[in-house]
Structure 1
């Protein structure tokens, strides 16, 4: 499916696209990617970065949406000229107009913006009564701009009648006492009253310890099927220290060798899968084996499954594309 096919699909399902992007940040990211794509198409430059950004943004769509299903089941093929079939700027604008927020409405009763009159280059002066702007005379009040509240003239403010003023009565407000809290002044943040702070509820669970979460994640990865010590020794004997394989140092008592997850090999053999070695290279498994193992053994929203479980089910290009999207996003 070419980028042009993807935009045609977005145009067809543009109403459900706007409805299913519930998060405002997701909608804005899709709109920003479409704006970048429209600029690239209009300027006749490479649209590959914009398409990658658009595919990442569209991954926020829920499973079952036609666009989400198309992204999960198809890869983008190059056209016969070696490039990619690009959509038109009008097609991009059709989807973009539905996602971009509407312009702010005019404030009722706001004064119209005065006409600037002819430009100085024309040599013609403004004609009387045309609504042209002019310099204000000294002491002349400035007219409020659109959306701005008018400032009252101090000379027009009503003067209170001295006969209506009286001293505070028993029911009126009083000066604050020693134990009273002071009301915040304009522009000042209120200070919370320590007497009103809530003690922690004994029934509330404590916040998780980051070290405990890390230990749980490592335990999950170490519990995945892996080579036995005998198989690991045979691997070293036949292939040597095979670069590109994930090896996890097992800190648990009684473990003398590193754990080598079994999904990296052809079933029933010690032959590494070429696609696994390529993706491990993309994920820099030599520097971060735990991060690479977590990508393989964790749920992947782009692939709608666990990558290790999808080996042999999805095309190798689909798995490599998902790993590449992660690397490029970083």
Structure 2
């Protein structure tokens, strides 16, 4: 059995399966997935880690992942189950958000493809990557990323960004806030982030409030 198929299947059913894991097994699974996402391991090492993670799941959940419980899957790490990938399990278990699977995973990938600054870059520029009101996303390996549109010069955030992020509740829902900024907005006829520094910037707080009050 391809161990990546086991991990993808676990991701697809995570809400039902997670409560059934013993704490020590959950901790071991988290450690294995964390090592898989580190930049150092090669393909063979990642496969070995995936194999051990699959063994942990099979031992804890034999009715779901025991011998003969999964249909054969093609080899390699790119196998999916109901649109979920093995990497999605790491997102669900380690990253503290639910941007995984065929719909939200695609949104996550799109947002992470946008220009961003890591925490060290913000610090070197004299900023605080953990300042209130900034959008912080978790990228590959759990790396902290701050979408670059938030900063006007160096690590200086736009005041409008901080105002709008407070309206959008970016501290609690950074992915939703990032999607609002970077997605096309019918009211503005543009992605809001593109209006920063223009005459239309003043429209952004009211547009965000309209979104929240209309929910």
After TM superposition, the score normalised by the length of structure 1 is 0.33
Q: Indicate yes or no: 2:144 matched with 1:258.
A: yes
Provide runs of 4+ in structure 1 moved above 4 Å: 207-210
Residue 209 of structure 2 is matched in structure 1 by: 324
Classify 1:276/1:238 alpha carbon distance in 2 versus 1 (closer, same or farther; 3 Å): closer
1:295 aligns with 2:184: no
Tell me which protein shows more helix as a share of its residues: 2
The gaps in structure 2 that reach 5 residues or longer are: 1-81, 85-99
Structure ranking higher on relative contact order (CA contacts 8 Å, 6+ apart): 2
2:116 alignment counterpart? 226
User: CA separation in 2, counterparts of 1:228 and 1:238?
Assistant: 11
Q: Deviations over 1:234-285 (max 9, x none)?
A: 25x64363110000011x2xx4531100100114x11011000000000000
Listed one character per residue, the Cα deviations across residues 117-148 of structure 1 (whole Å, up to 9, x for unaligned) are xxxxxxxxxxxxxxxxxxxxxxxxxxxxxxxx
1:229 deviates by: 5.0
> Which is richer in strand?
2
Q: State the number of aligned residues.
A: 119
Q: Alpha carbon RMSD of aligned pairs, Å?
A: 2.3
List per-residue Cα deviations over 1:183-224 (Å, max 9, x = no partner).
xxxxxxxxxxxxxxxxxxxxxxxx978821111100000111
Check conservation: 2:116, 2:148, Cα contact below 8 A. Answer: yes
Give distance in 1, aligned partners of 2:173 and 2:129. 21
Q: Tell me the SS of whatever aligns to 1:244.
A: coil
Distance 1:281 1:212, change over 3 A: same
1:153-207, Cα deviation, whole Å (9 max, x unpaired): xxxxxxxxxxxxxxxxxxxxxxxxxxxxxxxxxxxxxxxxxxxxxxxxxxxxxx9
C-alpha separation between the residues in 1 aligned to 2:129 and 2:150? 16
Q: What residue ranges of structure 1 are gaps of 5+ in the alignment?
A: 1-206
Match of residue 130 from structure 2: 241
Bigger-Rg structure (1/2) = 1
Instruction: Give the alignment of 1:1-330 within 5 angstroms.
Output: 211-228=101-118, 230-234=120-124, 238-239=127-128, 241-250=130-139, 252=140, 255=141, 257-267=143-153, 269-330=154-215
Matched residue SS, 1:266? strand
Q: Which range is displaced more, 294-303 or 221-230?
A: 221-230
Distance 1:293 1:240, change over 3 A: closer
Contact 2:122 / 2:129 at 8 angstroms: preserved in 1?
no
